[in-house]
Chain A
Amino acid sequence: MNEADQENDLPRRIAERLAARENAVTVVTPHVDAVIKRSAAEHFAGRASPARVAAEPRRIRRAVPRRWAVGAAAAAVLITLLVIRPAGELGRAPVLTDDFDGSGRVDILDAFAMARTRAADPAQIDQADIDALAARIVSVQAGTRTL
């Protein structure tokens, strides 16, 4: 034992404890570290992050009533249609999609525009569609009352 060793010499008890601790330390090489990271990433892939998990309960609390509200509104509309309007009239009234000329209203000018389009290119529109639109326009049962 030289002089330097003597200066660094520790009491045996402390030296033994330090040695024991040193043995307990597992040496993790960069390679092992990378393998562990990769395995962890594969294992937890698809799981929500902690922040997301923390926020999840509130999101669910908000989403569930919203879904119920949308469902209830849809059911109310359906019931209204079925109860108030006779079944035979469903789908017969002119609807916004019938506004072929984009004027904001549905009238015979829409059927006329369809007929003019068909006259230019018969492949684009069926005559049956024109007649069906005209029938909806003049229907006194489901059509728009103006008087």
Chain B
Amino acid sequence: MRRYAAAVVATLGAVAAVALLGLAAHGQPGDANATMRFAAIDVFIESAEPFAAWQFELGERNGAMTVVGVENGDSAAFATAPYYDLVAVQQGAADRIVVADFSLSAAASLPVGSTRIATVHVRLSGAQAPDYELRLIAAGDAEGRPIDAAIRLSAQ
């Protein structure tokens, strides 16, 4: 009986050891994955007058960001994908991104107020919180004249 109990304990111990080893082995890539995640950054323009063209640059101060994709915003006037460096994104070399677009739509069809103009999908590395840097380079009205506008982002 004692011998049987010792065998059971040994078996359980072995199983537990294997389980712990397995957890440890599984934990290594798990830690690496924990430092890399993806995020979507919505970029908005706020303008009191209809805007027909815009250009912004997005970066990350710690160098922890790699842009993996860009999609267009909500306005029907900017229905197609905006201009950006697609090659750099495809090569995984875009640690910053310049995005721009214009619309030949009539002024009445142009967005006004707070409008999501693009969503930038990024891969982040490191445990620290990203420190995004966003700058509006240009915004213009239907006649191509520069206008005063503000830009902001919302990270998901």
By a beta-carbon cutoff of 8 Å, the part of chain A in contact with chain B is: 101, 103, 107-109, 111-113, 115-116, 119, 134-135, 137-141, 143, 145-147
Contact = CB atoms under 8 A, between A and B. Distances in A.
Binding site secondary structure of chain A: helix
A113 B102 CA distance: 10
Binding site secondary structure of chain B: strand
B104 A108 contact: no
Given A108-B100, A139-B85, 15 more contacts: A108-B53, A108-B54, A108-B83, A108-B102, A112-B102, A115-B104, A134-B100, A137-B100, A138-B84, A138-B85, A140-B88, A140-B94, A140-B97, A147-B59, A147-B133
Nearest to B140: A109
Nearest to A147: B59
Chain B interface extent, by class: 20 to 34
Nearest to B133: A147
Contacts of A141: 85, 88, 93
A104 to B, nearest CB: 11
Going nearest first, the 10 A-B pairs with the smallest beta carbon separation are A108-B100, A112-B102, A108-B55, A107-B138, A138-B98, A112-B53, A134-B83, A147-B59, A140-B85, A109-B140
B52 interface: yes
A147 B57 contact: yes
B97 A112 contact: no
